[in-house]
Structure 1
């Protein structure tokens, strides 16, 4: 395929981005997945790396690193290079959690003049093998959201929706909110992992438990309190109602959390010796 068919995947080595790139390649699409460690190298903080990544690509997937804003001038540079479609990976909790950088990025994409789709997923199933893996292994996970049920969704389903947005026209101009097929609390999710692994794992949904755990990890108090405030607003929002969007777009059921846990156990994800 020629360069004019290449799809740029920024953030193509992480949990979702790697799956987006793999699905595109499996579909026969030419993919340029870039990061600070690829060739060409792409670094949000170094505008000198942007041109090589953007050269000759009409379609672009963007997943910003945690707490990283869209740099001023990046989207205009992308359009000048020939990008005509942008799919932005955002976050379903951005307003509640105060993720201002993502709110700004969403608005910049809408205002860019390119075709766009914004995808807002809920918590990932795979968060339990990345951010939460060590607490699960240690036998105690603390997230100050109480017993509010969340819309945990599998990263493969997120990637499948984002590939549909990159390669088809049905989702143009849409803000797509994604949840899994079943809402469940963190406590219930941890209980499923405990039952599947045969290990004792507890969940603490209180601010006090989270504060204690984060202080032990060396997080500054001001950051801890900011996070507790965001999680408190998330808890106050109440139970998530599954959106059914995965099922509508992909014409199949989304992956249930229990299926994810069974697969993760088979992969030995929570083996303390791993």
Structure 2
């Protein structure tokens, strides 16, 4: 008697790729790992179904063996067969017992492999959950880094705008400095021009007496260059000096007509200059002297 073996086409589990070691699983390959876990679970289900099929076949074979034994016993008792009949029927029974033992061993191996597969599937599922949590943590950190980067970009734009503003202010200050420097140079030139005709007078007195009604303190006195107008060498009486003490001006307050200092002060009404020729025409009536 030949025992039928299970068909490999119907009951054989599907082949699936083996799971890699846990330390070699890519960190972000969670989808592939979950797919393999599902394949392992399906294979475990196939193993369970195959084990149930083998158990059913075993029970069927045991029932058939028992039925044959009862049948042979009844036949031997009825027909009175001798021991020679048992010798003829012994090898098939022993072959059947060997096949039963092999079947039981296969069932035990399948049960053990099924348990190991289930354990590995559980471990792979736990590993997949751990990697999923790690992936979520990395995504959260990525969002935080992106927010910090956006804040840094905004700060960078603000710094660039502040830099442009400071550069503009620096350019304005440089322009202002250049204009002031040019004005200082013009004043120095005006001082040299004014000092030349009054050199003798300033070398003795160092001041110019002006009536207060003609010249106000802080007002600029304009002078027209004239080769004949070199000032007066007459000494100034002490009473005249005391009389016009408020009108004493320094050489820095005098500049020729048409100079840059006169044009630079033309915007302010309080700092508008007084023509020296007009002042000189009124001078004798005031009884003052220029020394």
TM-score (norm 1): 0.18
Select the structure that is richer in strand. 1
Higher radius of gyration, 1 or 2: 2
TM-score (norm 2): 0.17
